[in-house]
Structure 1
Amino acid sequence: MRLDTDLLVIGGGVAGAYAALTACREGANVVLACKTSLRGGATRWAQGGIAAPLDPGDEANHALDTQRAGRGLCEPQAVDVFVREARAAVEALVDLGVAFDPQGALEGGHRRPRIRHTGDATGDAISRALSRALHAWEGRGLHIKTRAFARNLRLAGGRVVGADFLTPEGPLRVRARGGVLLATGGFGQLYPVTTAPPEGTGDGLALAYRAGAALRDLEFVQFHPTAVVAGKRAYLVTEAARGEGAQLLNARGERFMARYDSALELAPRDVVARAIAAEIAATGRVDLDLRPLGAEWAARRFPTVAATLRPLGLELGRDLIPVQPAVHYTVGGVQTDVQGRSTLPGLYAAGEVASSGLHGANRLASNSLSEGLVFGARAARTALAESVLAFAEGDPSPAPGADWAGVPALRERLGAAAGVQRHGTELRAALEGWGLAPAVQPDPAALEAANLALLGELLLRAALERSESRGSHSRSDCPAQWQTPLHTVQWWDGREARQAQVPVGTHMLESTP
């Protein structure tokens, strides 16, 4: 089967949904392809809020908070665009029916209460609103294709012109005059314990890399400080809990954050995650204490968290909640400029799959949902403006050439080597015999495994190359921070894997010599 369209968007989370909605409003024909359902992915899992300047006077403060959290690796132009456009993007959600709480909240790394919530299920409310808006466009220029797994991109004359999919009905080819916009999320499933959804297997990054686009800063993986781990599942306790006054206590009952940062529990996530890991190692346990807030208040303020923890025998606001860091967000991704362009013509990216330059070395809490709105809309408009006149068949980019044998064991190996704290010896050992096998079957599960195999190797190589500690990348054998902040850029040149380090502000095309 074949579909022709103006723009192909892959992924239905906040970035993909808002990009598709923007393109429809511009009068374009759009195919929106999702691996699972339209409301799959990470957006609806988001308990915390969405960050945007409270008013024009807050833009400079929000920019400074973002840059401080990013540890010198944020791209200034991306930060500037974001703080200027995020508030209007959030207000657009209000127009779609998202009923935010009237008061802004405070979260770690923010010096002002600029976080908008709908209780502790903000992502779900946003996902529902965007889904309703998209369904209203079906049959009027929008084709939504669910359960469509992107196998490869198609290129003609060095430009991305579409993609091939596996669907329950058989193979699907989509040709797009405006190219392909990736909004497929991150690769949290590369780790043994993660808050990421099952869909988070890095498919978009692998598609882009195999087609020749550059990936940037894969070594920066953000650990959410406060997850409750039961077996191999991680249950998130929103950052807003600490914004409301919850405290962290070690096994001796000591409130310890003063030893790590003057902002205490409201320090940026990288600081809090490392502090919790250190206290667990030293004392055996860390608990989040909401007892001063009371069980009734906590259940009313955080109903989603309370309902999630209750089956585990934990009552929010009555019990100490045992927490530990868990992989939550992959900061690096497909390198883009502020218009969402990748280094490959016809390929655009937005959201967690992209490295827009906004987050630097460590994402500021609640910037991700608003980033998806701002850069999803920008990428859609740019793709339409750069459309070609005629459809092209194109040739398929290389399909995955390797399977990931022994997935659980390799996840454990990567989690141990590339966790909250890293060491060069362990990174090198993890790379030895990484576990690539010579063939892959053409089905989604095998393709996901191949994508994770590729990204695991790239992450380890990037982490080994970055012989410093910066943001969410901390190496005990290299505790100092380089004076000059550098990005790690990786790409496939058609013959071999390439990797380079380039300064902040380097033009995207200069990053792939």
Structure 2
Amino acid sequence: MQEITTDRIVIVGAGMGALYAALKLAPRPVVVISPEPLGKGASSAWAQGGVAAAMDESDSPENHADDTLNAGAGTVDADVANLVTQEAREHILDLTKLGTPFDRTEDGKYVLSREAAHSFARVVRVKGDQAGAEIMAALIDQARQTPSIQVLEGTMAVELDVTDGAVTGVAIQESDESRSEPIMLRGSAYLLAGGGSGGLYAITTNPPRIRGQVIGMAARAGAKIADAEFVQFHPTAMDVGEDPAPLATEALRGEGAVLINKDGERFMQSVHPDAELAPRDVVARAIFAQHQAGKRPMLDTREALGEEIKTNFPSVAEYCDRNGIDPAKETIPVAPAAHYHMGGIATDKEGRASLENLWVCGEASSTGLHGANRLASNGLLEALVYARICADGIAAKTNLHDAPEVDLTFDGTGFPPDAQGIAALRQTMTDKVGVVRNADGLKQALFNIASLEARDPSPSFQNMCATATLIAATALLREESRGAHERSDFPETLPGQATRSMMTFAEARALRDSLAEDLT
């Protein structure tokens, strides 16, 4: 394998966490590995709701932390929740200075929305449902003006090189279907900020390329993975046959939209005191149950928003329009879709992974903030806070302020993953490791994943299978229902403070292998 050595810090991913960290590291030189052109294909650019922060005088970081703990169903790290919520306001102000056009009132205050499980309106938005895209646009503009940031567009990371427990390189290749031979890029430090795992599921709101590869890459290198079983299913993906499924943002329910079934019945009022604003796991399971009963659940925005949805929520209006739905006059069919992974590469409070010289931020990480069920709009907030924390840690280790740009040329032909194998993996995850799980289904999922993994040697697919294995294995071992993890064969939540799961890929694979004889 060709090798290139640079004094630059290597950042894998090009979403919000990656670019924010790159800006915080300036003038230290970084090279950003971006599978798509900047702003395309990053989960953060697709985020509709906004960033949660206690900006109102009646609210406080303590209230925000309490809501985070309550939503997380017993597995949130309280110290992390306090840290992140205390810093939230600072990052909103920083993004404002960087050019993010947050919605403001006539007297200059931030427009705040209330989302599920929040006790206050504290979600800072941009143009209604454009927060992710507009924050990314501001960060991209700043990154392009920063000489220390080099972006390698059209490249993807597929493997970490580890020596004596420390990361010493990352193999990268072209991200198009030709998939060249990988090049080993050796830098001064490594930050993984490459997204989560939602695309491992057949029904997802995630960009097509976000399929657990970064988590799997770290897992295959030996990193510890935390809370892998906790996958958040967004309750109100639009059920219109698109892949990925368009998202009907939770902010719509914050504005008064209600959930009804084909008979016109509101079903959330009998499920939870907060009805449509119940925690996401509760709403997702209720919608799933309506589907299972053949009652076709729908989101009704007609009375709450009417024609205003078209100006206040332009993304949702666009999705509706291209699917022949007039949301001012018609209901929007919805279904739960894999949306956010609370689990990921285990990090300490400084954003460091269990492997030396490796930091992680954003959805690829598991900091302990989200617990078993992420509080709405805490995802972008966590990415911002830990991007800065990781940048500070890397900066303390790396003092170089200048390095030539990385110059590389890809050669040969690599191993692109088989499209049929990916489709089979995604269907297995939806069918067997989805909204409601049981032991038989999880064991079958592990058997299916092992079979698919053995057929396709491409490193990208191997990374997907590693993450899928970890999700299914930890879900099998957690014999209770907690937060987003629902077991039909263990419907009760065990009493007391739950422990977070920690597992290596070697441990997950050993569990998978031990079950193989029972299923063959």
TM above 0.5: yes
Residue 299 of structure 1: CA displacement? 0.7
Where does residue 157 of structure 2 map in the other structure?
150
Where does residue 15 of structure 2 map in the other structure?
13
Where does residue 425 of structure 1 map in the other structure?
440
Where does residue 106 of structure 1 map in the other structure?
114
CA distance in 2, matches of 1:466, 1:264: 28
Matched position secondary structure for 2:73: coil
Question: Is the contact made by 1:12 and 1:33 (CA closer than 8 Å) also made in structure 2?
Answer: yes
Residue among 234, 259, 263 paired with 1:224: 234
Where does residue 362 of structure 1 map in the other structure?
373
Q: Alpha carbons of 1:226 and 1:470: their partners in 2 closer, same or farther (altered >3 Å)?
A: same
1:486 aligns with 2:502: no
Name the structure with the higher strand share.
1
Where does residue 134 of structure 2 map in the other structure?
125
Residue 238 of structure 1: CA displacement? 0.5
Where does residue 176 of structure 1 map in the other structure?
187
Which stretch of structure 1 is more off in the superposition, 280-289 or 342-351?
Answer: 280-289
Question: Is the contact made by 1:216 and 1:334 (CA closer than 8 Å) also made in structure 2?
Answer: yes
Which stretch of structure 1 is more off in the superposition, 360-369 or 157-166?
Answer: 157-166
Unaligned runs of 5+ in 1: 392-398, 500-513
Residue among 141, 144, 163 paired with 1:135: 144
Residue 21 of structure 1: CA displacement? 0.8
Q: Alpha carbons of 1:432 and 1:158: their partners in 2 closer, same or farther (altered >3 Å)?
A: closer
Q: Alpha carbons of 1:79 and 1:231: their partners in 2 closer, same or farther (altered >3 Å)?
A: same
Q: What amino acid maps onto 1:408 in structure 2? A: A
Q: What amino acid maps onto 2:498 in structure 1? A: P
1:261-301 deviations in Å (ceiling 9; x for gaps): 10111111011111111123235211111111353211111
Question: Is the contact made by 1:201 and 1:448 (CA closer than 8 Å) also made in structure 2?
Answer: no
CA distance in 1, matches of 2:311, 2:299: 18
CA distance in 2, matches of 1:349, 1:285: 40
CA distance in 1, matches of 2:95, 2:510: 41
Q: Alpha carbons of 1:184 and 1:498: their partners in 2 closer, same or farther (altered >3 Å)?
A: farther
CA distance in 1, matches of 2:267, 2:418: 44
Question: Is the contact made by 2:49 and 2:249 (CA closer than 8 Å) also made in structure 1?
Answer: yes
Where does residue 415 of structure 1 map in the other structure?
430
Residue among 460, 465, 468 paired with 1:456: 468
Matched position secondary structure for 1:425: helix
TM-score, L = length of structure 1? 0.89
CA distance in 2, matches of 1:428, 1:438: 17
Percent of counterpart pairs with the same letter? 38
1:24-56 deviations in Å (ceiling 9; x for gaps): 1xx311111112222131111111111111258
Where does residue 39 of structure 1 map in the other structure?
39
Where does residue 107 of structure 2 map in the other structure?
none
Residue among 187, 192, 197 paired with 2:197: 187
1:335-364 deviations in Å (ceiling 9; x for gaps): 001211011111110000000110000111
Question: Is the contact made by 2:240 and 2:333 (CA closer than 8 Å) also made in structure 1?
Answer: no
TM-score, L = length of structure 2? 0.88
Residue 321 of structure 1: CA displacement? 1.0
Residue 176 of structure 1: CA displacement? 2.1
CA distance in 2, matches of 1:125, 1:416: 35
CA distance in 1, matches of 2:137, 2:231: 28
Paired residue total: 482
1:83-104 deviations in Å (ceiling 9; x for gaps): 1111101111100111111221
Q: What amino acid maps onto 1:429 in structure 2? A: Q
Question: Is the contact made by 2:473 and 2:508 (CA closer than 8 Å) also made in structure 1?
Answer: no
Where does residue 409 of structure 2 map in the other structure?
none
Where does residue 225 of structure 2 map in the other structure?
215
Residue 221 of structure 1: CA displacement? 0.7
Question: Is the contact made by 1:403 and 1:439 (CA closer than 8 Å) also made in structure 2?
Answer: no
Q: What amino acid maps onto 1:60 in structure 2? A: E
Where does residue 301 of structure 1 map in the other structure?
312
1:220-269 deviations in Å (ceiling 9; x for gaps): 11111111123252111000000000011122211121211101111110
Which stretch of structure 1 is more off in the superposition, 276-285 or 310-319?
Answer: 276-285
Which stretch of structure 1 is more off in the superposition, 224-233 or 312-321?
Answer: 224-233
Where does residue 198 of structure 1 map in the other structure?
208
CA distance in 2, matches of 1:474, 1:80: 27
Where does residue 58 of structure 1 map in the other structure?
60
Where does residue 396 of structure 1 map in the other structure?
none
Matched position secondary structure for 2:246: strand
Residue among 436, 459, 481 paired with 2:452: 436
Where does residue 48 of structure 1 map in the other structure?
49
Unaligned runs of 5+ in 2: 105-110, 404-413, 513-520
CA distance in 1, matches of 2:453, 2:124: 46
1:310 aligns with 2:317: no
Question: Is the contact made by 1:217 and 1:489 (CA closer than 8 Å) also made in structure 2?
Answer: yes
Where does residue 377 of structure 1 map in the other structure?
388
Q: What amino acid maps onto 1:83 in structure 2? A: T
